[in-house]
Structure 1
Amino acid sequence: MAHSLDSLVIRHTHRLPSPRGSAGQGAAAARQFDAALTTVGFKLSAELLERLSGLSEDAVVHTAKRALRTVSEMVGDHVRHNSYFIDFPANVPDTEEFWTRCVARALGDEKARDNVLAQLRVGVLNLLSLPTYGRYQHTYEEMLAAQDELIASAGDRVTVLHLGRDLDDELTELYLALAGSTTPLNEDDLRDLRTLAERCALGPQPEAIPVRENRAVVNAGRLGAGADLLIDTVTDVLRLACALSGGDVTLREPTRFRALSRPVRRGLLAGLDAVVAANPAKLADVVAHREPFKRLGERLHPHEYPRWPHAAEVFAVARGEKAAPSFDSLFEKLLDAYDIRGAVDLLKSAPGRLFRALDLLLRIAADQEERDAVVAAAVQVAPDVSGRVVLSVREHLHNRERESDRPRIFVNRRGRAWVTPDDRPPVPDADRDRLIAALDAEIRRRLPVPDRLLVDPDVLDVALPLSGRATAAGLGVLPRGSVSTVDGDRLRFFVYWKQTRARTDFDLSALLLHADYSTDSWLSYTSLRAVGGEHSGDVTEAPDGASEFINLSLDRVRSTFIVPQVNIFAGENFEEVEESFFGFMLRDGEQKGRPFEPRTVRMKSELRGVGRVALPLVFRRGDDGRWRAKWLHLYLRGISSANRVEENQVSVSKVVRAVVEREQLTVGYLIDLMSGDTTTVDLWDGERIPDAPVTYIGLARPEGLHPDSRIVTVENLRDLIPG
């Protein structure tokens, strides 16, 4: 368990909990540890190296083994990455030449010859029937022997591991940060919060837990520890029941409720009873989740507990035996009657819903007087709206001011994306501008005004993480819509997957688009070579894990956009496989090296979305000739089998256009609001570190910052979002 908890801290904070052990002469072992870390693109901070050097050699070796295992997993080096073509990217054949070679070898194989000849007679050939197609023809060791050594470069990624505090202190701080997050967490972070909640339920707690999914996970830990539950809606109890059953606390997917012990049933029923007794109007929330509440009632047996009559009302509403008009139904009735003022008055009691309805209300208002009422109500309730909703509406209004034929993109909580034409009437300019000014003022009011800001310029174009669900877990991953520069001559994508039971074939592809989003060409198993690029070859099954790569020489690529994608051709989906992840590497032209070199990995993210086509990010060449990445984290539905880049190029280009042309609120926007008259703002040059405390905002934490500094990096970027 200690290893998993150490690993959890390293993954989330890039800090190594203060190593324990007897004092000794561990300097030589510490230097060896540091050298081993460099092979996977990490290094020890000077402070951590000094701390390890004062421990015994055995203590250093024990610490190093656990940390190396963790960072190798973070970068994707915990598995063996073989390539179908042994000396990729050299000597990749043309597709037709390669297929012909496979057929020729099959005809020379007595076992395969008759079957292949029969197929050729009818003019249709199944590539999978060829013995040498889709399966590695060499071992991992043989592939390594065929490759040149990587030449180290100053441009290789270096991620610093810093010295942390004691493990208990690090876990408590991480628990408080995740539980108290003002934005929803992704699935991996939510799972980690569940682990922490079981350990930290009786310790220090955050001042508030604003995200309901987080609250459900925390409540599950508190219930197990005998602590009071944090419940103020009936839906809180439903989410808690889902957490206890190992189900989906976001309520997106149906949960199969487990049999619950009597103490747990009493706890849930008592919670429901208290909520309804305090505010009977909250019964209206049941209507939105009738079916889950009905199934939960079958597990709780409320009729056995007459002392909690209000809890029984919840299930009466779910069964339709008791009326409880929902808030949404009341709102719809007022809209049907064109009663805009009545709708606004109703929504004032639910400020978040008012903000989400602003665009609709401004579009359907009959005259300026009604629009003035909408704007006035929004300004009045703004202080009661969560920061992430205020920022989301601010971003929405900014994109509504641009008149164009841009498509409208929808993305659900699981990253599934779809695009439709935007046929909404415009929001009147004057009303939109008034709202934008008011929202900017509200956000500015909530933000701290530090004495001194130290800002890494590379963080300015990072999109605000208004929802952790918009970001996959991994290393070097930025929120959806973020823009980052690409420094390197060679861009290489990789995908790794390992099937659970059924034969599973993932296909790594890259769609190359012109400036108008029309198709230029693509790289895939059907097009192994294109201008400036090579594909490593098709692997069609992964019982022991498999990898595919695409290599691109950026100075030779003639397209404007490069869109890597992972298509599921056959078998298990992204959530069914044992493991799957995507990433990219950057290299200088002369570095050479194996297909996968961990120190050149710039980004590695888990593939765990709903859909059969994954779109992690898009690369765009700017007018200045430089390449930049824009982060997508999207999934398309695709088809049940045989998804291919040439079949989905139209839908992919529409999605890419919708995201590329949408402007996100960035860290730079918040920094502008934080920069008050009393704030000194310095852009960090990568070298000079101030002696005094600062608020540092950047992609990674530099060494040598004053211990009293506030540090915000990619790992805790959510801390910038005000409550």
Structure 2
Amino acid sequence: MSHSLESLVIRHTHRLPLPAGPSGGGSSAARRLDAALTVAGFKLSAELFEQLSGLSEATVVRTARQTLHTVSEMVGDHVRHNPYFIEFPANVPDTEEFWMRCVTKALRDEKSRGSVLSQLAHGALDLLSLPAYGRYQHTYEEMLAAQSELIASAGDRVTVLHLGRDLEGELTDLYLALAGSTTPLGEEHLSDLRTLAGQCALGPQPDSLPVRENRAVVNEARLAVGAGLLLDTVVDVLRLACALSDGDVTLQQPTRFRAFSRPVRRALLAGLDAVIAANPAKLADVHAHREPFKRLGERLHPHEYPRWPHAADVFAVARGEKEARTFDSRVEKLLDEFDVAGAARLLKSAPGKLFRTLDLLLRIAADQEERDAVAAIAAQVAPEVSGRVVLSVREHFQNRERETDTPRIFVNRRGGGWVTPDFRPPVPSADRDRLIAALDAEMRRRLPAPGRLLVDPAVFDVALPLSGRAGAGGFGVLPRGSVSAVDGSQLRFFTYWKETENRTDYDLSALLLHADYSTDAWLSYTALTAVGGEHSGDVTEAPDGASEFINLSLDRVRSACVVPQVNIFSGEGFEQVEESFFGFMLRDGEQKGRPFEPRTVRMKSELRGTGRVALPLVFRREDDGRWHAKWLHLYLRGISSANRVEQNQVSVSKVVRAVVEREYLTVRYLIDLMSGDGGAVDLWDGGPVPDGPVTYIGLERPEGLHPDSRVITLENLRDLIPG
């Protein structure tokens, strides 16, 4: 168990917990570990190397084994990546030539000849019926022997592992950071919080748990150890019941509630009773989740516990036997009567709802007097609104500054994306600008004085992580809307999947678009080569795991955009397979190397969406000829089977355009606010860092920072969002 916890710390913090063990001469083992880490693109910090060298060799060897396994998983090197074409990216055949080669082999095979001749006679041929198609024709070892060694390059990625505290201290710090996050966590981080809560439920706790899903996971752990529950709405109890049933605490997917033990039933009913006894108006919250509450009531048997009558009222409202007028219905009544100012005054008691309704209120206001009233109330309640909502509304109005034919994009909590035309009338520019100024002032008030700011310029265009669901679990993953430079002449995508039970075929493809988002070309199993690119070949089953690659020479690509995608052709979905992930590598032109080289991996993200077409990011060539990536993290619904790049090119280009042309709030915005009062901002160029404490903001932590420095990196970027 301790090994998995150590891995969790390394993944989240890039720190290695200080191993427990006797002192000794571990310098030789530490050097071997450092050398082995280099293969995967990692290295030990000088401080960590020194600490390991002072431990016994056996302790260092034990630590090395776990550390190497962890970093391999982080970049996707824990599995064998084998392309269909053994010499990929060299000697990839033309598509039709390859298909004819497979047909010729099939006709020479007595077992398949009859079936192939019969299909040809009817004018259609199923590629999957050809023995040489879609199944590896060589072993992994044969592929390695056919490939050249990677030539080291100064552009190879180097990720530093830093020295951490003891394991218990690191786990406590990480638990407090995740549980107290001001923004919702992604699926992977929420799962990690559940693990940490089980370890830390009786230890130090965060001052507040602003995110409801986090509270549900923490309450599950507190219930298990007999600690008091943290509840202030009936929905908190519903989320806890979902957590106890291994269901969806976000309440987006229905949960099948398990049969609860009597102690658990008593705890849940007592919690419901206490919430309503303290504030009967909270019965109205039941309406938004009536069906789940009805199903939960069938499991809790509230009639058996007459000492908690308020809990029984919750289920009576869910069944429609008791009335509870909702707050939203009162707001809707005022809006139906076109009483905008009255609706705004009522919404003062629900500041978050008011902020989410501001666009509508400003659009339907009858005159300037009503718009002034709305803006004044918004400014008055702004200090009561969470920082995440303030920033989300600020970003929303930033994108209402111009009239455009860019479609609106909607993304649900599972990454499902769709677009619609934007028919909304504009918000008057003066009102919009006044509101933006008020939101900026509120954010400036909340941000802490940073002292001396040290910033890695690469972080400026990273989108603020207003929700952990705007990204994906993995390594080097940036939030949706982030922009990052692409430094390298060879861009290579990879995807890996391993089926659970059923034959599963994923297809890695790339759609190449013109500047106006119309289709230029594509790379896929139906187009193995295109201008500047090669596909590694179609693998159509993955009982032992399978990989596909696309290689692009960026100096030869003529298109303006490259959109990699993973299409589910058949079989299990992204959330059903045993494992699936996507990533990309960058290399210099002369590096050669195997199809997958871990130290060239710049990003690896888990594929865990509900759609059948995954769109991780888009690559764009700017006017100066340089390439940048903009992060998407989207899943399109697709069709039940046979998803192909040719069929989804229109829908893909629409969502790509919507994200590319949307202006996201970035780290640069918060840094500008923090330094707006004359604070100094030093740009870190990769060299020595200042001697004194700083607030450092960047993608990775530099070596040598003063121990009293505040450090914000990709791993804890959410800490930038004020509460």
Matched, 1:378 2:378: yes
Kindly indicate whether the alpha-carbon contact (under 8 Å) linking 1:171 and 1:196 is maintained by their aligned counterparts in 2: yes
* SS class of match (1:451): coil
Alignment of 1:8-87 (within 5 A): 8-87=8-87
Report what 2:683 is aligned to.
683
* SS class of match (1:400): coil
Give 1:342 shift. 1.9
Report what 1:237 is aligned to.
237
Report what 1:404 is aligned to.
404
Q: CA separation in 2, counterparts of 1:65 and 1:185?
A: 30
Report what 2:600 is aligned to.
600
Give 1:105 shift. 0.3
Q: Deviations over 1:84-141 (max 9, x none)?
A: 0000000000000000000000000000000000000011000000000000000000
Report what 2:96 is aligned to.
96
Report what 2:543 is aligned to.
543
Kindly indicate whether the alpha-carbon contact (under 8 Å) linking 1:617 and 1:632 is maintained by their aligned counterparts in 2: yes
Q: CA separation in 2, counterparts of 1:382 and 1:482?
A: 27
Alignment of 1:123-522 (within 5 A): 123-522=123-522
Alignment of 1:581-600 (within 5 A): 581-600=581-600
* SS class of match (2:585): strand
The letter for the 2-side match of 1:544 is D
Q: CA separation in 1, counterparts of 2:347 and 2:637?
A: 35
Deviates more, 1:197-206 or 1:437-446: 197-206
The letter for the 2-side match of 1:277 is A
* SS class of match (1:563): strand
Give 1:343 shift. 1.1
The letter for the 2-side match of 1:662 is R
* SS class of match (2:602): strand
Q: Deviations over 1:577-607 (max 9, x none)?
A: 0000000000000000000000000000000
* SS class of match (1:260): coil
Q: Supply the RMSD in Å over aligned alpha carbons.
A: 0.6
Structure 1 residue runs without a partner (length 5+): none
* SS class of match (2:285): helix
Give 1:714 shift. 0.2
Q: CA separation in 1, counterparts of 2:424 and 2:679?
A: 41
* SS class of match (1:620): strand
Q: CA separation in 2, counterparts of 1:267 and 1:180?
A: 24
Q: Deviations over 1:679-699 (max 9, x none)?
A: 221000110210000000000
Q: What is the aligned residue count?
A: 723
Q: CA separation in 2, counterparts of 1:286 and 1:451?
A: 46
Decide whether aligned partners of structure 1 residues 677 and 363 sit closer, same or farther in structure 2, where only a CA change above 3 A counts.
closer
Report what 1:656 is aligned to.
656
* SS class of match (1:671): helix
Deviates more, 1:504-513 or 1:19-28: 19-28
The letter for the 2-side match of 1:355 is F
Q: CA separation in 2, counterparts of 1:366 and 1:501?
A: 60
* SS class of match (1:392): helix
Q: CA separation in 1, counterparts of 2:487 and 2:707?
A: 32
Q: CA separation in 2, counterparts of 1:597 and 1:99?
A: 29
TM-score normalised by structure 1 residue count? 1.00
The letter for the 2-side match of 1:276 is I
Report what 1:638 is aligned to.
638
The letter for the 1-side match of 2:234 is V
Q: Deviations over 1:302-339 (max 9, x none)?
A: 11111111111000000100001222222222211112
Give 1:706 shift. 0.3
Q: Deviations over 1:206-250 (max 9, x none)?
A: 011000000000011111111111100000000011111111000
Q: CA separation in 2, counterparts of 1:12 and 1:66?
A: 15
Kindly indicate whether the alpha-carbon contact (under 8 Å) linking 1:510 and 1:564 is maintained by their aligned counterparts in 2: yes
Q: CA separation in 2, counterparts of 1:2 and 1:517?
A: 50
Q: CA separation in 1, counterparts of 2:470 and 2:673?
A: 24
Give 1:262 shift. 1.1
Alignment of 1:564-583 (within 5 A): 564-583=564-583
The letter for the 2-side match of 1:205 is Q
* SS class of match (1:632): strand
- The percent identity for this pair of structures is 82
Report what 1:666 is aligned to.
666
Kindly indicate whether the alpha-carbon contact (under 8 Å) linking 1:451 and 1:678 is maintained by their aligned counterparts in 2: no
Q: CA separation in 2, counterparts of 1:257 and 1:403?
A: 48
The letter for the 1-side match of 2:468 is G
Structure 2 residue runs without a partner (length 5+): none
* SS class of match (2:161): strand
Q: CA separation in 2, counterparts of 1:660 and 1:707?
A: 39
The letter for the 2-side match of 1:569 is F
Report what 2:561 is aligned to.
561
* SS class of match (1:7): helix
Q: CA separation in 2, counterparts of 1:201 and 1:23?
A: 32
Q: CA separation in 2, counterparts of 1:525 and 1:608?
A: 23
Kindly indicate whether the alpha-carbon contact (under 8 Å) linking 1:87 and 1:147 is maintained by their aligned counterparts in 2: yes
The letter for the 1-side match of 2:548 is E
Report what 1:6 is aligned to.
6
Report what 1:117 is aligned to.
117
Deviates more, 1:679-688 or 1:431-440: 679-688
Q: Deviations over 1:326-378 (max 9, x none)?
A: 22222222211112122112211110000000001111111111111111111
Q: CA separation in 2, counterparts of 1:681 and 1:19?
A: 37
Q: CA separation in 2, counterparts of 1:677 and 1:574?
A: 48
Kindly indicate whether the alpha-carbon contact (under 8 Å) linking 1:565 and 1:615 is maintained by their aligned counterparts in 2: yes
Kindly indicate whether the alpha-carbon contact (under 8 Å) linking 1:449 and 1:676 is maintained by their aligned counterparts in 2: no
Give 1:22 shift. 1.1
Q: CA separation in 2, counterparts of 1:248 and 1:330?
A: 30
Give 1:677 shift. 3.2
Q: CA separation in 2, counterparts of 1:346 and 1:250?
A: 27
Q: Deviations over 1:561-590 (max 9, x none)?
A: 000000000000000000000000000000
Kindly indicate whether the alpha-carbon contact (under 8 Å) linking 1:630 and 1:660 is maintained by their aligned counterparts in 2: yes
* SS class of match (2:415): coil
The letter for the 1-side match of 2:463 is A
Q: Deviations over 1:515-562 (max 9, x none)?
A: 000000000000000000000000000000000000000000000000
Give 1:678 shift. 5.3
Q: CA separation in 1, counterparts of 2:341 and 2:270?
A: 39
TM-score normalised by structure 2 residue count? 1.00
Give 1:676 shift. 4.3
Kindly indicate whether the alpha-carbon contact (under 8 Å) linking 1:498 and 1:545 is maintained by their aligned counterparts in 2: yes
Q: Deviations over 1:646-677 (max 9, x none)?
A: 10000000000000000000000000000143
Kindly indicate whether the alpha-carbon contact (under 8 Å) linking 1:616 and 1:631 is maintained by their aligned counterparts in 2: yes
Superposed structure 1 runs of 4+ greater than 3 Å apart: none
Kindly indicate whether the alpha-carbon contact (under 8 Å) linking 1:563 and 1:619 is maintained by their aligned counterparts in 2: yes
Report what 1:622 is aligned to.
622
Q: Deviations over 1:182-220 (max 9, x none)?
A: 000001100000011111111101011000000000011
Give 1:449 shift. 1.3
Give 1:615 shift. 0.2
Q: CA separation in 2, counterparts of 1:43 and 1:274?
A: 53
